[in-house]
Amino acid sequence: MASDFFRRQEAARRSTRWLLVLFLLAVLAIVSIVNLLLLWGFHGGAWTTLWAGDRPMVERLSQVWSLAGGTIGWASAILLGTIGFFSLAMTLKLRRGGAVVARELDARPVPPATEDAQERLLRNVVEEMALASGLPVPGVYVMDREPGINAFAAGFGPEDAVVAVTRGALEKLDRDELQAVVAHEFSHIFNGDTRLNMHLLGVLHGLEAFAVLGRVLMRRSVWAAPSRRNPAPAGEGNPADGAAVSFLLGAFVFLFGQLGAFFGALIKAAICRQRERLADASAVQYTRQPEGLAGALSKIAVGRELGSALVAGRRQEVSHMLFAHGLGFGGPWLHWLATHPPVEERLRALDPRWSRASLESIRRQLERRRVARREAERRQQSQRRETERTPGSPFNALPLAADAGLPGVALWGALAASGELEERRLAQARALLESLPAHARSAAQDPQRAPALALALLLSDQAEVRQKQQALVGETLGDEVLNALQTIQAERDAAPWSPGHRLPLLELALPALNHQPETFLQRWLLALSRVIGADGRVAFHEYALGRMARVQVQRAVRPREHRAGRLALHQVMSATGRLFAGFTWAGHPGNPEGARAAYQAAMTRMLIPAPPEWEAPEDWVSGMDEALRQLDGLRGEMKQTLLEGLAQAAIHAGRVTVDEAELVRAIALLLGVPVPLLLPFDSEAAGDRTNGPGGADENPVPDLG
């Protein structure tokens, strides 16, 4: 349910606030412990005074300060400065998004057009899940040097999120198991856990800074020590003494740093463990296949020599982000310091009958079934290509269900499923990907052609306007992009794609497009604006696709955390009126009475007793842009109410066009609400309906009755 999505997001935000409280308490504890040790070691008189019980505590503290105030002040300042500096530095570094974490762990981005079979499977699973859930397709990474089974998701929001898996996971997991692991990570994105984890990584880095400094000092002292290959220069004394002092200093700082690491581990365990249980439950809910998640966890439990352990040097810092213990079975030495429930506990939650005695038989079964399962998957994939293109497919059935009113029901269902993933939507997304024209999908996954494909989605059907648009692209981006655009258009003319393919192709193209340099992306955004405005008017689908592309590219270039709103609808009623006036006017061009009726139906749906009067907007595009900027400050449940009103306005005329569905989803994205993809890709039987100023949709969803 959508309400569950907003509730989980709010729970993650509360955890973030608790993180700051726990961090401050940990800093206070560290400063206090260090000062007590300094008093004990260097100020015996102050130490004795502190514990003398014959005077009030305030008087004793005052005397301790008079005896050792300088030491306490300098030590506290150094500690607070160091912790604050390292926390701030890491927090600023992480502002560039989830890709920073992936690079820190030596993860490699998977090219959209990869030819590696395992990586192709991973991309397919991630793309299916993104399309089914309504999230932008996240960056996909592989940790090639990691033989264990593990994964993580990182990022402040869906726009800068990445999903990374180890090479061991790709090699050891079958499709169902890999899908369960990816679903677990997607649930972290849905629930706001990735944002929380980024804050944890940044803030707690300050607590672990001394351990890092100590480790660096010890390594440098070892490298600097004289050896047969690196003899000491003559006449410069004995450098071994300096190396020994440096090593001992590093060891002391490292051991002292374990105090901060201990408090950091406590905070991670307090915040993360329950979120991991929720992610497991969500993964099973999404896939409806507990066997997939159980299989992945069983393989971790069977492979004790590797299990889920990482070999990356920064595994301790990111342990709270991982699918399973990144330190392996010999990780946190106390259960109450662990960021994850034990694997055995997670398996019993999936199957109460599970026992450790079954691991050996599971290992043998997995080994015997591995080859057979992969062969079966290849056969099923071949069969799926045929069955999912037939009218019996759930996705293709939508245009044929006019009398049953399925599209209307499905539209409400998509809104109700905001922030959720359902098994049937995964099947629909898989069918949709299979239906995409091969040339278009190939271009969407090619970083060199993706910029041209994204612009091709907005080319006019009128030859004169299209020629002007292509000329503008050539002026802005050069001949290389223009040639690619013309080639894609020629392929489209030979094998046309449906309007229902536009949004999926754009979502597939954006990750490849975002691989381009920032300077190119700025010029591409200019080209986007010029293509949309080439004919002097903006159609519904142009506004929807253009806004989605612009927002996702801008957020990928400069990731930002999506702040939670606090406003109610009655506080932004003027902006609400402008948004719905623009939406209904664009959906009923030249029909003010129809637009007014749809507007009133939407306001009634949202239970607004005295809504603003409907007025035909002079510039519906600018009005909606300004309204959306203000409405982004709404509370989560208010945003859901707003989207329900838009759906009511779209359905009021009796049928929903592809363009209207695109725009509802685009507005949801701008408001930070993931709405599952629901666009038919073959609706010729439904007839035509003009859908925007100067635009017509050739494939509307059938009459909803």
pLDDT digits (tens, 9 = 90+) for 97-144: 899 999 999 999 998 878 898 999 999 999 998 888 888 899 999 999
Respond yes or no: is residue 185 known to be catalytic.
yes
Token pair of 254, please? 């490292």
Residue range 446-454: mean pLDDT, rounded: 92
> What strand order describes the sheet that includes 151-154?
108-109, 139-143, 162-166, 151-154
DSSP state of 436: S
What amino acid occupies position 327? L
Rounded to two decimals, what is the model's pTM? 0.77
Nearest to 163 by CA among 206, 119, 207, 201: 119
Which tens digits make up the pLDDT trace of 581-626?
Answer: 999 988 888 889 999 999 999 999 898 888 889 988 888 889 999 9
DSSP codes of every residue in 531-546: HHTTTSS--HHHHHHH
SS (H, E, C) 71-86: HHHHHHHHHHHHHHHH
CA distances from 420 to 6, 134, 211, 238, 447 (A): 11, 9, 40, 66, 30
CA distance 647 to 641: 10
Task: Return the pLDDT at 21.
Answer: 85
Residues in the chain: 705
CA distance 549 to 662: 12
DSSP codes of every residue in 315-330: TTTTGGGBSS-TT-TT
Q: What confidence category does residue 400 fall into, taking pLDDT thresholds of 50, 70 and 90?
A: very low
Residue range 74-97: mean pLDDT, rounded: 90
The CA-based dihedral angle spanning residues 627, 628, 632, 636, taken in that order and rounded to the nearest 10 degrees: 100
Residue range 406-424: mean pLDDT, rounded: 56
Token pair of 517, please? 């340099």
Task: Return the pLDDT at 305.
Answer: 47
Q: What confidence category does residue 349 fall into, taking pLDDT thresholds of 50, 70 and 90?
A: confident
How do strand 139-143 and strand 162-166 relate by DSSP bridges?
parallel
64-78, 288-302, 449-463, 551-565: which has the minimum mean pLDDT?
Answer: 551-565
Residue 557 Cα to chain centre, angstroms: 15
SS3 683: coil
pLDDT at 690 over 50: no
Q: 165: which strand partners? A: 142, 151
Only one residue has tokens 């271009």, namely 443
CB 329 within 8 A of CB 304: yes
What amino acid occupies position 147? P
Task: Return the pLDDT at 682.
Answer: 32
Token pair of 613, please? 């009067």
For 166, the enclosing helix (H) or strand (E) is strand 162-166
Task: Return the pLDDT at 699.
Answer: 33
Token pair of 397, please? 């059935």
Task: Return the pLDDT at 394.
Answer: 34
pLDDT at 224 over 60: no
Q: What angle in degrees, to the nearest 10, is found between the helix axes of 2-42 and 636-652?
A: 160
Task: Return the pLDDT at 107.
Answer: 95
Nearest to 85 by CA among 170, 172, 215, 210: 210
Residue range 694-704: mean pLDDT, rounded: 34
Task: Return the pLDDT at 367.
Answer: 64
Largest CA distance in the chain: 97
For 697, the enclosing helix (H) or strand (E) is strand 695-697
Task: Return the pLDDT at 413.
Answer: 56
Q: What confidence category does residue 152 fall into, taking pLDDT thresholds of 50, 70 and 90?
A: very high
CA distance 51 to 444: 71
CB 417 within 8 A of CB 2: yes
Query: Residue 355 class from Cβ within 10 Å (0-12 exposed, 13-18 middle, 19+ buried)?
Result: exposed
Only one residue has tokens 């019980």, namely 53
Q: What confidence category does residue 495 fall into, taking pLDDT thresholds of 50, 70 and 90?
A: confident
CA distances from 678 to 23, 417, 502, 625 (A): 43, 11, 12, 24
CA distance 562 to 576: 20
Q: What percent of the chain has pLDDT over 90?
A: 25
pLDDT at 393 over 70: no
CA distance 160 to 99: 8
Q: 139: which strand partners? A: 162
CA distance 140 to 118: 12
pLDDT at 5 over 70: no
For 691, the enclosing helix (H) or strand (E) is strand 689-692
Query: 491: how many CB neighbours lie within 10 A of its CB?
Result: 18
CA distances from 476 to 413, 506, 573 (A): 42, 20, 40
pLDDT at 281 over 80: yes
DSSP codes of every residue in 254-319: HHHHHHHHHHHHHHHHHHHHHHHHHHHHHHHHHHS-HHHHHHHHHHHHH-TTTTT---STTTTTTG
CA distance 256 to 449: 53
| 52-61, 236-245, 328-337 — most confident range | 52-61
Task: Return the pLDDT at 497.
Answer: 83
Residue range 299-324: mean pLDDT, rounded: 80
Query: Residue 28 class from Cβ within 10 Å (0-12 exposed, 13-18 middle, 19+ buried)?
Result: exposed
pLDDT at 311 over 80: yes
Only one residue has tokens 């502190």, namely 50
Q: What is the mean pLDDT of the chain?
A: 79
- Taken in order 525, 530, 535, 536, the sign of the CA dihedral is positive
pLDDT at 240 over 60: no
Task: Return the pLDDT at 85.
Answer: 92
Measure the CA angle with vertex 315, ends 309 and 321; round to 5°: 90
Task: Return the pLDDT at 223.
Answer: 57
Task: Return the pLDDT at 420.
Answer: 60
CA distance 186 to 279: 8
CA distance 168 to 307: 9
CA distance 571 to 156: 28
Q: What count of Cα atoms within 13 Å lies in the side-chain half-sphere of residue 349?
A: 17
More confident position, 364 or 620: 620
Query: 54: how many CB neighbours lie within 10 A of its CB?
Result: 5
CA R_g for the chain: 29
Please pick, among 127, 128, 185, 491, the residue that the annotation labels catalytic: 185
Alpha helices in 606-692 (DSSP H): 620-631, 636-652, 658-670
Q: What angle in degrees, to the nearest 10, is found between the helix axes of 479-494 and 463-477?
A: 150
pLDDT at 316 over 90: no
Which tens digits make up the pLDDT trace of 153-167?
Answer: 999 888 889 999 999
Token pair of 634, please? 């709404």
Residue range 547-553: mean pLDDT, rounded: 89
Query: 479: how many CB neighbours lie within 10 A of its CB?
Result: 9
Task: Return the pLDDT at 472.
Answer: 96
CB 102 within 8 A of CB 162: yes
Token pair of 122, please? 């991973």
